[in-house]
Chain A
């Protein structure tokens, strides 16, 4: 389904000549982005384009700048050089759910929406993530998975054109993580928004993304389209092959496993 929606745009071609027609065809456009901390460039002249509705996963070793890139796209880090174009409507789900502990779950979901939004909006969003029974709970009484789903509902209620996920499953236990991954896949297919998922879990990236980017030394060092049919099967030998290739890119030797 995903490949039907997205017209095959050749990213290499647009990168060279796409400067004339930027915003229309892209959900994200980053050109020549540099971000330095104390003179050390964490992101160094980075280029990135994300098509509308595309699911992009960003892999990389810890400290490679992938979270910094996400924070820049979210508008939380503006100490930058270069061009960054993002949709006005964007939402972030962080690794920690970051719910305001003094607001009940449904109020957290509505937080920051313009005007006086109706509670029904929050209830609908919470139902979408399967949390309708916890709308009236205090965030500190939620389990890790529930809190993460509430955080996801809070992001989705903004109807974003770009959803930024910063290792949203990192703190979940293995079983909850599988469920949450499926949920994100479903929500993305239903909403059709562009997603940038920052993760260090290669399997998760291959399972969900249309395109996997590997970040290293402050740039996108490797890029791989995942053309496996959805829903994807982890036991598929091609899945394992792609996973092995990506792991190798990340410097993990899986020769024995991939063979």
Chain B
């Protein structure tokens, strides 16, 4: 039966040939397979240090930009050259306008972030830990979440005037929802087996929250914090471009009126760096708070 299934090219005469001299077969060794070395990772890895590898991308981009500006492909009114931008940045720092704008913006973000974190985490705790809380809190939050918070700026200006309050309120609103969603999901995603184990160890309700539920929700909470930080900067840009008389956004609006692309780019770079800084803070927090979690770090 197996012969009928054998491919036509198979050496059929093998069978009659080997069967009479079956005793000889074991003595002839099987053909050795081709061996290939398993290269240890240490030798495969390049010798270039990590930070250098990480900076090559941005540096290459900068070089390209400078090249395009230098050759005149990119004119100054479209986008200023990196050299020019560095010079303008130096000037802005020197006359103090950039630093004072940054301080104002940072204060706004910090205020909004603090308020949003408190509200978002608080609501998530209420609806995550208590079923009653879920029934009361979750539906309204899910409804409000779908309202684009930027659309509320006019309303906020009417409510809070044009001072700091509407700007902080916008950031707070932007920060609250991603944090709420992730902390809530984190709490509800805690392994039921661990909660049961905690119960069997005689933990009280508060003990369960403190030792099992909150630490278990922490990875989710930090993800939420990261989203929130991103949104906080976004909200800041929006808030500062409407009715502001200080801050980075105001600087940009001003530069737009004078067609100063160099100042705009400087402000954008500042935003980018502040965003990077915030990300770095969250990463450090994660490394510190989630050291129990072995994670895949890439190859």
A143 within 8 A of B: no
Residue from A76, A91, A111 within 8 A of B196 (CB atoms): A76
User: Restricting to B76-121, which residues have a CB under 8 Å from any CB of A?
Assistant: none
Total contacting residues, chain A, CB less than 8 A:
22
The reply to whether B197 and A94 form a contact with Cβ atoms under 8 Å apart is yes
The reply to whether A102 and B292 form a contact with Cβ atoms under 8 Å apart is yes
The reply to whether B215 and A74 form a contact with Cβ atoms under 8 Å apart is no
Segment at the interface with B among A7-15, A53-61, A134-142, A187-195: A134-142
User: Restricting to B215-233, which residues have a CB under 8 Å from any CB of A?
Assistant: 215-216, 218
User: Restricting to A109-168, which residues have a CB under 8 Å from any CB of B?
Assistant: 111-112, 114, 138-141, 154, 158
Q: What 5 pairs between A and B have smallest CB-CB spacing?
A: A112-B201, A98-B197, A102-B215, A92-B200, A102-B292
A250 within 8 A of B: no
B202 to chain A: which residues have CB within 8 Å? 112, 114, 158
Residue from A94, A100, A140 within 8 A of B211 (CB atoms): A100
The reply to whether A138 and B291 form a contact with Cβ atoms under 8 Å apart is yes
A205 to chain B, nearest CB (A): 23
Residue from B194, B203, B291, B292 within 8 A of A98 (CB atoms): B194
B196 to chain A: which residues have CB within 8 Å? 76, 98
A interface, over-half SS? loop
The reply to whether A74 and B200 form a contact with Cβ atoms under 8 Å apart is yes
The reply to whether B292 and A75 form a contact with Cβ atoms under 8 Å apart is no
A96 within 8 A of B: yes
The reply to whether A140 and B197 form a contact with Cβ atoms under 8 Å apart is no
A74 to chain B: which residues have CB within 8 Å? 200
The reply to whether B293 and A140 form a contact with Cβ atoms under 8 Å apart is yes
The reply to whether A101 and B292 form a contact with Cβ atoms under 8 Å apart is yes
Number of A-B residue pairs, CB cutoff 8 Å, is 56
A93 to chain B, nearest CB (A): 9
A81 to chain B, nearest CB (A): 21
User: Restricting to B150-176, which residues have a CB under 8 Å from any CB of A?
Assistant: none
A75 to chain B: which residues have CB within 8 Å? 199-200
Binding site for B on A (CB under 8 A): 74-76, 91-92, 94, 96, 98, 100-104, 111-112, 114, 138-141, 154, 158
A96 to B193 Cα, complex, angstroms: 9
- Look across to chain A and name the residue whose beta carbon is closest to the beta carbon of B215: A102
A68 to chain B, nearest CB (A): 13
A154 to B291 Cα, complex, angstroms: 22
Given A94-B193, A112-B202, 11 new contacts (CB under 8 A): A75-B200, A76-B199, A100-B212, A102-B215, A102-B218, A103-B211, A103-B215, A111-B198, A111-B203, A112-B207, A154-B201
The reply to whether A139 and B200 form a contact with Cβ atoms under 8 Å apart is no
User: Restricting to B175-198, which residues have a CB under 8 Å from any CB of A?
Assistant: 193-194, 196-198
A140 to B202 Cα, complex, angstroms: 23
The reply to whether B203 and A100 form a contact with Cβ atoms under 8 Å apart is no
A96 to B218 Cα, complex, angstroms: 22
A101 to chain B: which residues have CB within 8 Å? 292-293
B294 within 8 A of A: yes
The reply to whether B203 and A112 form a contact with Cβ atoms under 8 Å apart is yes
- Look across to chain A and name the residue whose beta carbon is closest to the beta carbon of B214: A102
A130 to B121 Cα, complex, angstroms: 42
B201 to chain A: which residues have CB within 8 Å? 91, 111-112, 154, 158
- Look across to chain B and name the residue whose beta carbon is closest to the beta carbon of A77: B196
The reply to whether A138 and B292 form a contact with Cβ atoms under 8 Å apart is yes
Interchain residue pairs with CB less than 8 A apart (9) = A76-B200, A94-B197, A98-B197, A100-B198, A102-B293, A111-B198, A140-B293, A140-B294, A141-B294
The reply to whether B292 and A140 form a contact with Cβ atoms under 8 Å apart is yes
A152 to chain B, nearest CB (A): 13
A259 to B198 Cα, complex, angstroms: 47
B293 to chain A: which residues have CB within 8 Å? 101-102, 140
- Look across to chain B and name the residue whose beta carbon is closest to the beta carbon of A90: B200
